[in-house]
């Protein structure tokens, strides 16, 4: 059974591509996230992946984010902050939205 995950692509007025993700990211849907990140047109910009509405992120989701780290920036929430910090993802890509 696949865990509910919603991904909505858009662009900011300055042309920055955004992928807004909500729900839970786990091994049942990490492939969908990978496909969305791989297929996103970035046109010289970093892809902004908005995870502010993500309620759960497991190691499969982290693996996908690490694989795309050179070409993405993240928007996170305080719920994800410990996972992103402990995994080291905050050291390999820019993460916005976490309290210091």
Only one residue has tokens 């402990």, namely 86
Express each pLDDT in 14-49 by its tens digit.
Answer: 999 999 999 999 999 999 999 999 998 878 889 999
| Beta sheet of 72-75, edge-to-edge order | 5-11, 17-25, 47-57, 72-75, 95-96
Predicted local distance difference test score (pLDDT) of residue 43:
80
Tokens of residue 73, six digits: 């920036």
pLDDT value, residue 80: 96
Whether 100 has a pLDDT exceeding 70, the answer reads no
Check: pTM over 0.85? Answer yes or no: yes
Local structure of 56: helix, strand or coil? strand
- Each residue's pLDDT tens digit, 53-83: 999 999 999 999 999 999 999 999 999 999 9
Strands (DSSP E) contained in the chain are 5-11, 17-25, 47-57, 72-75, 95-96
| The predicted structure's pLDDT at residue 99 | 65
Token match 């995870």: residue? 51
Those residues with Cβ within 8 angstroms of residue 21's Cβ, 6 or more apart along the chain or in another chain = 5, 6, 7, 33, 49, 50, 51, 53, 54
Report whether 15 contacts 21 (CB < 8 A): no
């Amino acid at each position: 059974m696949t865990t509910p995950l919603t991904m909505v692509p858009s662009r900011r007025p300055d042309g920055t591509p955004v992928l807004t993700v909500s729900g839970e990211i786990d091994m049942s849907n990490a492939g969908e996230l990978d496909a969305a990140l791989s297929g996103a047109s970035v046109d010289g910009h970093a892809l902004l992946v908005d995870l502010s509405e993500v309620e759960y992120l497991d190691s499969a989701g982290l693996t996908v984010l690490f694989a795309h780290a050179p070409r993405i920036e993240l928007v996170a929430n305080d719920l994800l902050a410990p996972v992103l910090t402990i995994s080291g993802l905050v050291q390999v890509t820019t993460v916005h939205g976490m309290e210091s």
